[in-house]
Amino acid sequence: MPEIALTFDNLPASLTMLDVLVRVGTAMLCGIIIGWERESLGKPAGLRTNTLICLGACIYMMLGTFVSLPGIAGSDPSRIGAQVVSGVGFLGAGTIIRGRGSIHGLTSAATIWVAAAVGVTCGAGFIFSALLFTLALLTVLMGLGRLEIMSIGPCSFKTIEVRVDNGMERTQSIVAGLFELHLKGRHPLIWVGEGTGKVLRAPICERHMRHRTFLVDVWRQRGVQSVQYEDGTIPSLPRHADELVSESAGNPGRK
């Protein structure tokens, strides 16, 4: 039975203890940098998640170097790294939430996938490349948002009104929760009693489509009569949600 070298005393000649520390330390640093950006935005995969992903991918990649299988032809340490690529897909899929008319978490899932690639790069010993890839990832996550503001313009807020049937306290709580989650407590929510229902008034960006996609989930709630701006106009939503909005607007008394 072939012997497996699992101790630091049996490291390959090309890999020293300092190399191990540098690779692990760089993987953790890259994970912290990536995770900090996600954590600051309140995303599901934050600081600890991305740090663990980078660290785990680095460890698995180095494991291919640590483990020596004398006498076995065709032993390829890079196969472990290949399994990281496929395995991290399941982790990324867990951050994607798909509702009727909207999908959330794609950016977080893609970030997890790239974070794993950065960890594998660290484990393979390409330290400078790993730092460069981390910088490129931050440029995409932070820089493209600013590019959108430069091309489309900054957020332009407008008051939106969501009318909910009286007696639908559960729906009112869900609708308020959706707005709180989206606005992150930065803007106040005001409930007023009006006619046959209660109306939630809150500011929302009318310029960027991605800031309004959550309204599709608001439309879906049982007891929601209408969703419109205070001037009576209907907010534009993603094209695939037009049918849902048309049905809701055409039947304001739906239950």
The predicted structure's pLDDT at residue 35 = 92
Cα–Cα distances (Å) from 179 to 122, 182, 221, in that order, read 40, 5, 13
Closest to 167 in 3D by CA, of 134, 200, 198 = 198
| Domains of the chain by residue range | 8-151, 157-250
Q: Where are the beta strands (DSSP E) in the chain?
A: 97-99, 102-104, 157-165, 190-194, 197-205, 224-229
Q: Do β-strands 190-194 and 197-205 pair in parallel, antiparallel, or remain unpaired?
A: antiparallel
Query: Residues 150-166: pLDDT tens digits?
Result: 776 677 788 888 888 87
The predicted structure's pLDDT at residue 13 = 58
Cα angle 101, 104, 106; round to 5: 120
Query: Residues 73-118: pLDDT tens digits?
Result: 556 667 777 788 888 877 777 777 655 445 667 888 889 999 999 9
Residue 157: exposed, middle, or buried by beta-carbon count in 10 A (0-12, 13-18, 19+)? middle
Give the CA radius of gyration of the chain. Answer: 25
Query: Residues 165-214: pLDDT tens digits?
Result: 877 778 888 888 878 777 766 777 778 776 667 888 888 877 766 677 77
Q: May I ask the CATH architecture of the domain 157-250? A: 2-Layer Sandwich (3.30)
Q: What is the mean pLDDT of residues 44-53?
A: 89
* Residue 31: strand, helix, or coil: helix
- Residue 105: partners with Cβ closer than 8 Å, 6 or more residues away: 44, 95, 96, 97
Q: Which residue has the higher pLDDT, 66 or 143?
A: 143
Query: Residues 33-42: pLDDT tens digits?
Result: 999 988 887 7
pTM passes above 0.75: no
Residue 177: exposed, middle, or buried by beta-carbon count in 10 A (0-12, 13-18, 19+)? exposed
Closest to 112 in 3D by CA, of 41, 58, 44, 181 = 44
Measure the CA–CA gap between 217 and 11, rounded to whole angstroms: 54
Measure the CA–CA gap between 70 and 48, rounded to whole angstroms: 37
